[in-house]
Amino acid sequence: MPSSPALPGAAVVVRGLVKRYGDRAVVDGLSLEAAPGQVTAVLGPNGAGKTTTIECCEGLRAPDEGTVHVLGLDPRTDAAALRPRVGVMLQDGGLPTGVRAVEMLRHVAAMYARPRDVAELVERLGLASFARTTVRRLSGGQRQRLALAAAVVGRPEVVFLDEPSAGMDPQSRLAVWELVHELRADGVAIVLTTHLMDEAEQLADVVHVVDHGSVIASGTVPDLLASSGTPDGETSVRFEAPAGLPLDGLSSALGAAGAGTGPRWTVAEPRPGSYVVTGPADPAAVAALTAWLADRDALVSSLTVGRRTLEDVFLDLTGRHLR
Amino acid sequence: MTSTPAPTTPHPSGAAPAWRRVAAQAAFETRMILRNGEQLLVTVALPVILLVGLVQTHVVSLDTEGATRVDFVTPGVLALAVMSTAFTSQAIATAFDRRNGVLRLLATTPLGRGGLLAGKVLGVLAVEVVQIVVIAGVALAMGWRPDVAGVPAALGAALLGTAAFTSLALLLAGVLRAEGVLAVANLVLVLLVVGGGILVPAGRLAGPLAHLAVLLPSGALGEAMRGALLGHGVPAFSVVVLLGWTAAFGWGAARLFRWH
């Protein structure tokens, strides 16, 4: 893959990565970079190649083609030098199940010369309530928090987090996000994979959208929101109402009401009962929308007027079909 | 880029010394085995029950070649204990650790793959020390009088047997699914106890098994332990057999072990 010059001081540089399982290329010419003091999100649908890419960065898999450098080192050949400087949280946890949570954390801490204070980390991530519980009995969210603690206990310079918020309750997610912000402020390069849009929007400085094994869009969240889809002056209006409304006449009803002329409105019901209309939304258009709904005796349970979200961009880029 | 330049905080990261990492892993492995009920049953309770059963009852008639029953049975029980820890218990633990991603996670810490392997072997040896102390204690209480001069040779044989059986455990654990390993490791243990020349000397087995068992790692370990502790000396043939199996299983594990 033609390569742009690396970010000065980039912590992770992946160039033209290819990884095949059998004759299927799961990662196919993927390139990305991650900088110190930034959160880099690798966003993509299931099966896009996110985890395989991260595992190549962690030295757990050998690339078939392309290069991977972490802190300027090769994760396969310089593994011994790299391991003390890199923290890893695997998607499937990788926690031994037969020990208590805090024993597991102490054990990982023992691998480092100057680990973080285990007690402080237990407090920080709210692990105290289950510190003496066997890992086998922890909930999904508790295991995730423990795995995150294990990833950062060695004071890493680069942290790879594979789906860090999977299975977490909202409180846990907030605690994790706070810790990620703190690591970023300390200059750590954080690379996380996620398929959660709000996580990428909340956390990421840079987002790489991955599909079918390669990066199809990169940039900051505002960049991505601005670059694709909605032309200037268009706004999405989302509303919740009874499912299955006949939307045929809505577009022209809105067009007649607003300043815009012609069929500039798009109308969709992406999920039953959840509608998105996009166009030159102004007060008159919103009034016309609610009047149209009132004519059909449909009560609106929520209505928001606002910009597109990362989810819209993502669905535009990767398509809406299930896989 | 919208983010502010990162402050360049020093990261005092670095690995703990290698011996400390391996010692921590060995202690961790040992604790996990000794705390697991099923593992304790196979590694400690089963050999002790066999020992007491074979010595105190005459359900199984034994030709002890002039030795007392306890002198004759104890070396084989010690060999069985080594096999249960180095093979069955280690194969099952490693297989489930592999399935659950534990091996991969630990391999990304400064411990690395080599340290993980060293920790596992030391953990096996630590559990064997516990087994030997318990079994020897029970045997001595029942009147066991081993040939003291043969004790170093017996420990050497136990180490060789550990090497062969741990290699086999890693080969199985790295190739088969965890559920498959659970079944195979237990089945092989039972088969080797019944017909593998570990408790009953190979020469005493029926028909072709008598010739086959001396070639098995179980038969070789059994013969070596009996030879050392009954005062006949360790047969050189048994040492060669154990070294051969160690090389073969070790080569297979190194080649075929899959981390994912």
- Over residues B110-134, the pLDDT tens digits come to 998 889 999 999 999 999 999 999 9
pLDDT exceeds cutoff 90 at A193: yes
Same domain, A146 and A284: no
Q: Minimal CA–CA distance to A154: which of B21, B112, B11?
A: B11
pLDDT exceeds cutoff 60 at A2: no
Give chain B positions within 8 Å (CB) of A113: 12-17
The predicted structure's pLDDT at residue B135: 97
**Best residue in B108, B111, B260 for a mutation probing chain A (most A CBs within 10 Å):** B108
What mean pLDDT do residues A164-180 have?
86
Kindly determine whether residue B13 and residue A38, on different chains, have CB atoms separated by under 8 Å. no
Range of the domain at A278: 235-307
Query: Predicted confidence band at A167 (pLDDT cuts at 50, 70, 90)?
Result: confident
The alpha-helical segments, DSSP class H, found in B85-235 are 90-99, 102-108, 112-141, 151-175, 178-195, 209-213, 217-229
Same domain, A193 and A286: no
Same domain, A245 and A133: no
Query: Predicted confidence band at A8 (pLDDT cuts at 50, 70, 90)?
Result: low
The predicted structure's pLDDT at residue A82: 93
Q: Is residue A7 part of a domain?
A: no
Kindly determine whether residue A112 and residue B9, on different chains, have CB atoms separated by under 8 Å. no
Q: Is residue A218 part of a domain?
A: yes
What chain A residue is nearest to B95 in terms of C-alpha separation? A96
Same domain, A175 and A282: no
CA distance B23 to chain A (A): 10
pLDDT exceeds cutoff 60 at B11: no
Same domain, A223 and A239: no
Number of Cβ within 10 Å of residue A127's Cβ equals 23
Give chain A positions within 8 Å (CB) of B109: 83, 88, 108, 111-112, 154
Q: Is residue A5 part of a domain?
A: no
List pLDDT tens digits, range B221-239. Answer: 999 999 999 999 999 999 9
For B142, counting Cβ atoms within 10 Å of its Cβ (0-12 exposed, 13-18 middle, 19+ buried), the class is middle
C-alpha B155/C-alpha B224 separation (Å) is 10
Same domain, A197 and A275: no
The predicted structure's pLDDT at residue A310: 77
Same domain, A59 and A132: yes
β-sheet bridge partners, residue A86? A158
- Calculate the dihedral angle through the C-alpha atoms of B130, B131, B133, B135, rounding to the nearest 10 degrees: 160
- The total number of structural domains that make up chain A: 2
Residues whose CB falls within 8 Å of the CB of residue A320, separated by 6 or more in sequence, listed in order = A270
Query: Predicted confidence band at B55 (pLDDT cuts at 50, 70, 90)?
Result: very high
Chains A, B: CB contacts within 8 A come to 131
Residue located via tokens 């199996």: B245
Cβ atoms B193, B210 nearer than 8 A? no
Q: Is residue A97 part of a domain?
A: yes
Interface ipTM: 0.84
Same domain, A126 and A205: yes
C-alpha B159/C-alpha B153 separation (Å) is 10
Q: Which residue, A227, A251, A271, sits at the end of a domain?
A: A227
Query: Predicted confidence band at B6 (pLDDT cuts at 50, 70, 90)?
Result: very low
Q: In which element (H, E) is residue A128 found?
A: none
* Domain at A285, CATH number: 3.30.70
Query: Predicted confidence band at A53 (pLDDT cuts at 50, 70, 90)?
Result: very high
Q: Is residue A292 part of a domain?
A: yes
* Domain at A209, CATH number: 3.40.50.300
In angstroms and rounded to an integer, the radius of gyration of the C-alpha atoms of chain A is 23
Kindly determine whether residue B11 and residue A157, on different chains, have CB atoms separated by under 8 Å. yes
List pLDDT tens digits, range A112-142. Answer: 999 999 999 999 899 999 999 999 999 888 9
B positions 81-100 inside 8 Å of A (CB): 96-97, 100
Q: Is residue A315 part of a domain?
A: no
Q: Is residue A320 part of a domain?
A: no
| CA-based end-to-end distance of chain A | 27
Same domain, A141 and A184: yes
SS3 category, B184:
helix
Q: In which element (H, E) is residue B39 found?
A: helix B37-40
The predicted structure's pLDDT at residue A234: 72
SS3 category, B215:
coil
The sheet with strand A65-70 has its strands ordered as A24-34, A12-21, A65-70
Q: Minimal CA–CA distance to B121: which of B80, B75, B87?
A: B87
Higher pLDDT, A5 or A43: A43
Same domain, A201 and A245: no
Kindly determine whether residue B14 and residue A150, on different chains, have CB atoms separated by under 8 Å. no
Q: The tokens of B122 are what?
A: 């030391």
Same domain, A72 and A201: yes
Same domain, A215 and A250: no
pLDDT exceeds cutoff 80 at B215: yes
- Compute CA distances A279 → A267, A276, A295, B27, B193, whole Å: 9, 10, 21, 65, 78
